[in-house]
Every structure is written in structure tokens, then in C-alpha cells.
Chain A
Amino acid sequence: MISLKGFITRFLSDPVAIGAGSVLLILVLMAILAPFLAPQNPYDLMQLDIMDSEMPPSWKPGGDERFLLGTDAQGRGVLSTIMYGTGISLLIGIGAVIVQGVLGVTLGLIAGYRGGWIDAFLMRLADIQMSLSTLMIAIIVLAIFQAAFDANTYADYAIFMLIVIIGVAEWPKFARTVRSSVLGEKSKEYVDAARVIGLPPRKIMVTHILPNTLTPVLVISTIQVAEAIMTEAALSFLGLGMPTDRPSLGSLIRSGFEFIFSGSWWITLYPAIVLVVLILALNLLGDWLRDVLNPKLRRGDD
């Protein structure tokens, strides 16, 4: 383990970590402060004017200074939609990881601590789910939901659905990690000691084992947020995720895709850049965290 001070020192001495961290911070702030910072509110139909549609970025001929990065087919400023869209992507990403985390940690603790058939059953389930892949599960479930409900109802629940589906589909990653660290911790003396004093199993799990499994959980969380955002973007791109009137980054790219070949590349390009940068920053940060918090100790040679 590493102290908070050591952690900060390591962070400040690594240019990649600083870069990824600050990019992420900027994107998050941008998303949170979108209602105050964004030049327009893309959800406010009163502000939209179809005459403004498909304008190129402001420095190009035909651009308008109101729309720094141009406008899309409905006359929404690309910059503004990106700011709001990033927020929705982040919301779904973080929400899904919270669901994954709660579900995965709980099931992982139970599987690791109880062992026996519960463990075997949960891990078998995890195997099956992992091999089906989150994206596949999500595509099928969302396809069915979309077929079952009409478009408006679907649009209302899209955020919620995405969070739940991506959350439920990815629990095995957390569960496995937690389970393996529980198995490691369980054999240690302090757990035996706690059991000998007669603490109930749930109490031992929560107060004694859980805190020791948090490091790996923190590491995967970061990478999982990136994965969840990527999954959401893919689903939205397929038209199974966020509707275009409440767009995430993925649905922005989808709505711009058909205009690439007519020359309106900016509708796709800018949200795509933001999406890649966001995922990259999270991945780099996740890698860095893993290196710092979980260093593979060099094997002694004697």
C-alpha cells in the first residue's frame, strides 16, 4: 500500500498521469458546468433555428461566430451539444459502474466468503455472462425493449435502461476481483481472529475484508467507466442507446455519420475527438493507478 502523500508525489512526478488527470478534470468540469458555459441550450427548442443547420466551424467560410464548432442538421451548436453530451456519457458511465460495483462487490464478497455451491454457481454465471460479452447482451436486451415499447416511452427511460443494463452485464469483473482478494484475505489471521471472537459473518465481511479489497476495486472502476462509456457510445451509435434529442457522444456521432459524405464532417469529428480523449484519459489513468497501487513486486532471486 501507499500513503496519500506518496500517492500525490507519484502523481506529480508522472507527466502522463498529470496529463490524463487534467484532461479528465477539464472534461468533467465542462460537462457539469455545461448549463452555464454552453453558448446555447440544445434542448431548448425555442433557441433552435433550422436556418442555422449544418454550418461549418466559425473559422471556415460560411461559419457563424455564434457556433464555434459549427452546427448539426437541426441547427444545434456542435460545441453545446458536445458539452451536454459529455455529461450524459459520463453520467451513464459512472452510474453503470456504481451499479456494477455494488452488485459485483456484494456478490464477490458472498462468493469468496461463503465458498461452496454459492461460489461455484456465481462464478459459473459470471463465466457465461463474460463470454456473452456486455455489448452483445446490451444490444439484444435493448433491441427487445425497443421492439416492445414505442419510441417515446423508450426515450424517457433510455438513460436509466443503459445504466442498469451496462451495470448488470459487467458485474462479473468486480465480483471476480473481489472474490480473489477475499480468498487471499480470508486465510489471514485477523479474519480468523475476528471469527474466534464470534463476530457474525456479515460483520467480518463488511468491517474486516471489504476495506482490504478496495484497492483493486478502485483500479478497475476507472477502467470500467471508460468501458461503460465506450459501450454506451456503441449502443447509441447503433440507435439502441440515447435518442438524438437527448444525445450522448455516441448518438451525436450517429447523427453526424450520415452527413460526413455530404461534407459536414464537423458534426461527427468533434464529438468523436472528445469521446476518444475521454476514454483515453480514463484508460491511461486506470493503467497508472494499477501500476501505483498494485505494483507487481519484483521476484527475489534468492
Chain B
Amino acid sequence: MFVISLIGFSIQDNLGDPLRELLGQSVSEEVRNEMREEMGLNDPFVVQYIRFLGDAVQGDLGDSYFFKRPALGVIMDKFSATFELVLGAVFIFLSLSIPAGIYCAIHRDSLVTRIIMSASIIGISVPVFLTAIGMVWLFGVELGWLPAFGRGETVEMPWGWDTGLLTWDGISHLILPSITLSSIMLPLFIRLIRAEMMETMSTDYVRFAKAKGLSTARVRYVHAFRNTLLPVVTVGGLMIGTLIAYTILTETVFQWPGMGFLFLEAVNRVDTPLIIAYIIVVGLIFVVVNTLVDFLYTLINPMVKLPGGKS
């Protein structure tokens, strides 16, 4: 986190002149210098950084040049949209990849397995923005089944979170983008789960479980699958960065009003505080997700105990 904040600040410090963005070109040099002094822009780097850090801890990352509002607030307004998109995608790829992966591991040479495996390598080879364009074109434009742009109707929850999950309109808007976002993770996870499951199915403890006369279901889902989950959770944690990157692509194509779309707009507008706020929020998400993954891992794996847990 510290590193991210330092990088974030250095960027802000070296990127263009905030005054130009704030005041425009027409202001005289004198006024400019005055402002500069007032805003503390002439102070040494370290002083400015400490001030930045102090503000950042209080949640103040500066105002967006474009929106003229605190950058963090602008980002957080979009958080719910991105969160629901990711939620939809995770739901889709988990509910499909786990059964498919297990099936392909158990029936390793069946026709269905071959079809799934061939489809998965094609799936890996199609860039996510092409899937998105294809989806928009096919379901949104040609067939007209589902809306292809925006988020549709949202409902404001009492705690200030607007959700699209409560109306059919909101959900129908979510379908195409979340399928798109899951499309890149799905083949990767099917292949991963299949490979890991095949590996555990050939271990001695699974053989021993069979030799004990346990039912096939128990051997597969209690003995083999729990061990399959360990590497899958680890890799899943590593994929979070990729997932966030792909939200930017997906949101761009579907004009989904989330953080990624906002970020790209900020890049085009050279809205530095917003760019930095985004990077810092993404950094925070990393920390949170990694903590969650670690926690999940200790739940599955008795060999790892959380510090302070009973031994």
C-alpha cells in the first residue's frame, strides 16, 4: 500500500501542471505563482508527499479536474456497478467451471470432454473485447434480445449503494457484460480444475479412500475435490488483477458505468487525481481480496493455521 501511494503521488507530482487544468491558460503568471504558493506546490517533494499521505489517510485524494469533486468520491460512486459486474461474472464462471472441470477430469476421454477442452482453447484465444463486441453485435443488435449498453434501472439502497440487481431491467443489462467478463476466466478455470482434479484423482490417498470401500461420490467430492480446491483458490487469488483489467475492457465496450470505464475516461482527459484515486482503490481491492483468499485457504487447508489460531 505504501509503495502504491508513493508511486501515486510521484505521478501526480510530475504529471503536467495542475494549475493549468484548474485555471485554464488565460490566467496571468502572477496569479499563478500566488496560487502555487498557496497550494504548497513549491514545497519540497517530501513535504508534499507527507501532506498527500496525510490527506490520503483521511480519504482525501484531491479533487477530480473534470468533475470538480473529490476523486475518491467519484470513484466510489462507480464502485457498486463494477462490483455487481464482477459478482455476476464470478457467479457465472464458478457455477460453470467447477462442474465442467470435474466432469472433464472424471470422463477424461469422452466426447463431451473433448468438445469442452477444444472449446476452452478457442475461448482462451479470443480476446475479451472481441467477445464483448460479438455479444453486443449478436444479442444486442442482430437478435435484440438483451440490452447491450449501460446499466439500466438501478435502485438506491438506504446506505447509498445503488444496485441493478433488484429490477429485471437492471439484471438484463448485467447479463451480457458478466458473461463476457466470465468468458476469459471460464476456460482457464475449467482447464485448471480439470488438471488439478486429475492429479488428485491419481494420488494414493484417493486410491486408499476407494480401497476403504467409500462411495464414488464421497471419494470424488470429499477426498479429491477438497484437495483440488487448494491450488484453485491460490490461482483464483492471483487472477484478481487480470479480472480487474478485464473489467476495464468489458466496461468500455458495454459502456458500463463502472470504475474501469471511468478510469479510461480519466486517462483520456488527463484527469490525474482520478487516475491516482483509481490506482489506489485497485490497490486496496488487492489487499482485501488477498486477505480473503488467505483466509479461505486456511479454512480448507489444515496445514496452514492463521497466526493466533489454536494449534
Contacts and interface: CB of A to CB of B under 8 A. Distances in A.
Answer whether A and B touch in the complex at a CB cut-off of 8 Å.
Answer: yes
Interface of A: 130-133, 135-136, 139-140, 143-144, 146-148, 226, 230, 233-234, 237-240, 250, 253, 257, 260-261, 265, 268, 272, 275-276, 279-280, 283-284, 287, 299
B121 A280 contact: yes
Interface residues of B, number: 42
Nearest to A249: B127
Contact of B127 (A131, A144, A275): A275
Instruction: Report the 6 A-B pairs with minimum CB-CB distance, sorted nearest first.
Output: A133-B241, A135-B245, A280-B125, A133-B242, A143-B267, A136-B245
Nearest to A131: B238
Instruction: Tell me the dominant secondary structure on chain A's binding face.
Output: helix
Interface string B266-282: 01101010010001001
B128 interface: yes
A238 B248 contact: yes
Given A234-B128, A257-B133, 6 more contacts: A131-B237, A136-B241, A144-B15, A147-B275, A260-B137, A280-B122
A275 B267 CA distance: 26
Instruction: Tell me the dominant secondary structure on chain B's binding face.
Output: helix
Interface of B: 11, 14-16, 121-122, 124-130, 133, 136-137, 141, 202, 237-242, 244-246, 248-249, 252-253, 263-264, 267-268, 270, 272, 275, 279, 282, 286, 290
Contacts of B270: 147
A13 B133 CA distance: 37
A146 B267 CA distance: 8
Contacts of A147: 15-16, 267, 270, 272, 275
Nearest to A132: B241
Contacts of A130: 238
**Among B127, B246, B268, B286, residue most surrounded by chain A Cβ atoms (within 10 Å):** B127
Contact of B249 (A131, A226, A238): A238
Nearest to B252: A238
Nearest to B241: A133
A287 B187 CA distance: 14
A249 B286 CA distance: 31
Contact of A136 (B15, B129, B130, B242): B242
A233 B128 CA distance: 10
Nearest to A130: B238
Given A144-B11, A144-B15, A253 B125 contact: no
Given A131-B286, A133-B245, A147-B15, A237 B129 contact: yes
